[in-house]
Amino acid sequence: MPLLVVGSVAFDSVRTPYGEAVEVLGGSATYCAVAASYFTEVRVVAVVGEDFGEEPMRLLRSREIDVSGIQIAKGKTFRWSGVYSDDLNERTTLSTDLNVFESFQPALRPEDASCPNLFLGNIDPDLQAGVLRRLRPRFSACDTMNFWIEGKNDALKRLLAEVDGLLINDSEARLLAGELNTVVAARRLLSLGLGFLVIKRGEYGAALFAGGHYFAVPAYPVERPVDPTGAGDSFAGGFMGHLARSGDASGRGLREAMIYGSVLASFCVEDFSLKRLGSLSRGEIDRRARELREFLSIDGPAPGGP
Amino acid sequence: MPLLVVGSVAFDSVRTPYGEAVEVLGGSATYCAVAASYFTEVRVVAVVGEDFGEEPMRLLRSREIDVSGIQIAKGKTFRWSGVYSDDLNERTTLSTDLNVFESFQPALRPEDASCPNLFLGNIDPDLQAGVLRRLRPRFSACDTMNFWIEGKNDALKRLLAEVDGLLINDSEARLLAGELNTVVAARRLLSLGLGFLVIKRGEYGAALFAGGHYFAVPAYPVERPVDPTGAGDSFAGGFMGHLARSGDASGRGLREAMIYGSVLASFCVEDFSLKRLGSLSRGEIDRRARELREFLSIDGPAPGGP
């Protein structure tokens, strides 16, 4: 069942201890859509500038992503640049030029209202809520960030009462809940009306809080991470894509989706931009999912682990 | 089967956002021994000063720990003081007074040579190796820290070729391996001759690397952590205690032991010193172990989770 992804499409310039990439394709919607495209039909709603060009569109189309919802606006595409610490755990933003993204208004078609699954990437919570209310999907989740938690806290909390789930970073979850302890923060966020909460923990994996239960998935142990940019969005894409395909949002379905989120994030970090994420086979994905299940299993050693 | 624990016994003074404790019982051997005492007979080999007094000894004896290996030396007991950040993730040492611990020489009895399990807490690697060579236990593991990694690197690496396993913090594992990536660091440390490696990750749990496999256990989600002091040593105690009881150091046995390490660490952080860790029931321990197994399981939601 199709997934609609609303978010940013950007050009990123990134420096890590393993190299540098200049003005390469990035953005939350991009990573999420490409990761989800291994599981289901994906449509992207976003905005780019006149400088975007055909090549990045071709890459998205090569994953059979419906890019007809990507508006081309007068001006330049969103640009972000940043640099990572030696262990890749700290990131410093060098510049953020929102450009056409600053006045982004998601353009929806009437037929989008039949799209059963929706992922609202990190944009203004009022825009996220607007899309959600117009589409009323069967299943929805969103992401957010410090900027909106601090600047549009009320709008964000209203959104959380309407969306099924939130995928968010560790520190952002604590900030949003106003609580230093992650477990208490999770409980507080769920009490706002969320059906489930996924807390993303970078190289430590991710944790799922839903109703009365908890599940933790480790990061797939990657030996040569090159660039963590987009890992959280790729997690969201693997997670949402798997849920869209399975149609199973039960406890077990969410847990299975966590495995695929972790797998897609692990591929994302193995190269800059979408170089690795954009060229996977189902076999590669399923192999890592199997290994991750074994890493979680008390019963047996995983053959051929790290 | 009995476990012999060599390490420090200390008085700690700790300040956290949740309160303060002054000159309370601490030390790596103390936490490890008390955690292990729920699974097996434990003997502690350590040193304290003339100021140690009867009360802390009574606490250890109340856990049926054999304290006859704790020497009382002329001088004062090891003292440490520190303060934790608001989220408990950062610790600043305010003072370290080694006192009698500075010239600690583990005193072994002839009958210790029949003790099948040995945990070498964080002391000089030459002392650790001396104990290991004299006892030749069936199963052994050690801990270490930055101070020895930097100051006695060669001695430490010789020790790792002789001991079965190493339990160590994330950042220390990377420092010891001279490698920024944890997975590569783990591989390198295993290549020194270790049978297994446990990387402790605080609130993110712990990871096991052994031969060709990998296992990650989350931290038990504690809602009201009070003081993280001793959590890593309590993990080691739960882990080693369970292994000593089961006698099963296979992949599955190590994985089971990881669960119990995580459980004992979770109790440790719920109060200062040994207030919570020292007064557990088997029922409480088994309940958390069952919940942790459910948190790891893809199959089902854990009833009554957080």
CA angle in degrees (0–180, nearest 5) for A210-A193-B223: 50
Question: In percent, how much of chain B has pLDDT > 70?
Answer: 98
Query: Residue B303 has what pLDDT?
Result: 42
> Using the beta-carbon criterion (under 8 Å), do B186 and A306 form an inter-chain contact?
yes
Per-residue model confidence as pLDDT tens digits over A217-239: 999 999 899 999 999 999 999 99
Cβ(A227)–Cβ(A21) below 8 Å: yes
pLDDT on residue A305: 39
> Considering CB atoms only, which of B174, B204, B223 is closest to A204?
B204
Q: Over the stretch B212-257, which tens digit does the pLDDT of each residue have?
A: 789 999 999 998 999 999 999 999 999 999 999 999 999 999 999 9
Give me the pLDDT at residue B99, please: 96
- H or E element in which residue A133 lies: helix A125-135
Q: To 10 degrees, what angle do helices B251-268 and B231-246 make? A: 140
pTM of the model: 0.91
Type of residue found at B8: S
Share the mean pLDDT of chain A: 94
Q: Which of A181, A209, A303 sits opposite B212 (nearest CB)?
A: A303
Instruction: Kindly state the average pLDDT of the residues A105-130.
Output: 94
Looking up tokens 């209202």 gives A113
Q: Which 8-state DSSP code applies to residue A302?
A: P
Confidence of residue B302 (pLDDT cuts 50, 70, 90): very low
B242 in contact with A, Cβ within 8 Å: no
User: What pLDDT digit, counting tens, does each position of B5-42 carry?
Assistant: 999 999 999 999 999 999 999 999 999 999 999 999 99
Angle between helices B170-177 and B182-190 (to 10 degrees): 60
Q: Does A252 contact B293 at a Cβ distance shorter than 8 Å?
A: no
Whether the Cβ atoms of residue A24 and residue A268 lie closer than 8 Å to each other: no
- Shortest CA distance to B181 belongs to which of A205, A221, A20, A291? A221
Helices A251-268 and A28-36, axial angle in degrees (round to 10):
110
Please name the member of B201, B214, B252 whose beta carbon is closest to the beta carbon of A298.
B252
- pLDDT, position B306: 38
Whether B17 has its CB under 8 Å from any CB of chain A: the answer is: yes
| Cα-based distances in Å from B69 to A192, B46, B105, B110, B144 | 55, 6, 11, 12, 21
**Does the pLDDT at position A301 exceed 70?**
no
Residues B70-122: tens digit of each pLDDT: 999 999 999 999 999 988 988 999 999 999 999 999 999 998 998 999 999 99
Q: Which B residues, 66 through 105, put their C-beta within 8 Å of a C-beta on chain A?
A: 86-88
Q: How many residues can be counted in chain A?
A: 306
Q: Is-contact B70 B47, C-beta < 8 A?
A: yes
pLDDT of residue B211: 82
Report the pLDDT averaged over residues A275-298: 94
pLDDT for the residue B305: 39
Query: pLDDT at position B58, please?
Result: 95
Whole-number Å distance between alpha carbons of A184 and B303: 18
A298 inside 8 A of chain B by CB = yes
pLDDT-based confidence at residue A142 (cuts at 50, 70, 90) = very high
Closest CA to B130 of B105, B111, B110: B105
Phi and psi torsions of A286, nearest 5°: -65, -35
A51-64 average pLDDT score: 95
Q: Are B243 and B138 in contact (CB under 8 A)?
A: no
pLDDT reported for residue B145 = 94
Asked whether the ipTM of the predicted complex exceeds the cut of 0.90, the reply is: no
pLDDT > 80? residue A34: yes
Residues of B whose CB is below 8 A from A254: none
pLDDT, one tens digit per residue, over B123-168 is 999 999 999 999 999 999 999 999 999 999 999 999 999 999 999 9
> What pLDDT score does B304 carry?
40
SS3 state of residue A160: helix
The verdict on a CB contact (< 8 Å) between B306 and A214 is yes
Reported confidence tier of residue B59, pLDDT bands at 50, 70, 90: very high
- Rounded Cα distance between A155 and A149, Å, is 9
**Got the DSSP string for chain B?**
--EEEE---EEEEEEETTEEEEEEEE-HHHHHHHHHTTTS-EEEEEEEETT--HHHHHHHHHTT-EEEEEEEESS--EEEEEEE-TTS--EEEEEEE-GGGGG------GGGGG--EEEE-SS-HHHHHHHHHHH--SEEEE---HHHHHHSHHHHHHHHTTSSEEEEEHHHHHHHHT-SSHHHHHHHHHTTT-SEEEEE-GGG-EEEEETTEEEEEPPP--SS----TTHHHHHHHHHHHHHHHH---SHHHHHHHHHHHHHHHHHHTTSSTTTTGGG--HHHHHHHHHHHHHHH-SS-PPTT--
Residues A17 and B149: their CA atoms lie apart, in Å, by: 24
Note the pLDDT of residue A300.
57
- pLDDT at residue B2, as a whole number: 96
User: Half-sphere exposure of B269 toward its Cβ, with a 13 Å CA cutoff?
Assistant: 26
Nearest residue of chain A to residue B87 (CA atoms): A180
pLDDT of A153: 96
- Shortest distance between the Cα of A161 and any Cα of chain B, in A, equals 20
Provide, rounded to the nearest whole percent, the portion of chain B with pLDDT above 90.
Answer: 90
A-chain CB neighbours of B298 within 8 Å are 215, 252, 255-256, 259, 293, 296
Question: A–B: how many Cβ contacts below 8 A?
Answer: 130
Contacts of A217 (CB under 8 A, 6+ apart): A205, A206, A207, A208, A255, A258, A259, A261, A262, A292, A296
